[in-house]
Amino acid sequence: MQVQFPLPETCKAGVVTNHGPAFELKIEDVQVPHPDQILIKLNVTGLCYSDIHYMLEDLPLPRMGHLSVSSPGHEGAGVVVAIGKDVKG
């Protein structure tokens, strides 16, 4: 794994804690990327109405927990801080 910056052991994360709109700020462990993944340090991210509807579970999608997703938000900007050994491009 190629590391661009020193990696902290933990980070702040907005996490959905229960089904529905239960959302809180937690300290989570920083995961080391797998060989085919990258790790991005988010500088900013937003929540839009699709994220809120996803948390409220009123969209015809599987629950966040069934997809191993606990942090909503899909419109972020950040910096690549670690690159898995098999990442190309």
Q: Which has more pLDDT, 40 or 62?
A: 40
pLDDT category of residue 36 using cuts at 50, 70 and 90: very high
The mean pLDDT of 9-34, rounded to a whole number, is 84
The mean pLDDT of the chain is 82
Q: What are phi and psi of 64, to 5 degrees?
A: -55, -45
pLDDT category of residue 84 using cuts at 50, 70 and 90: very high
Go through the domains of the chain in sequence order and give each one's CATH number: 2-83 (3.90.180.10)
By percentage, how much of the chain surpasses pLDDT 90?
Answer: 27
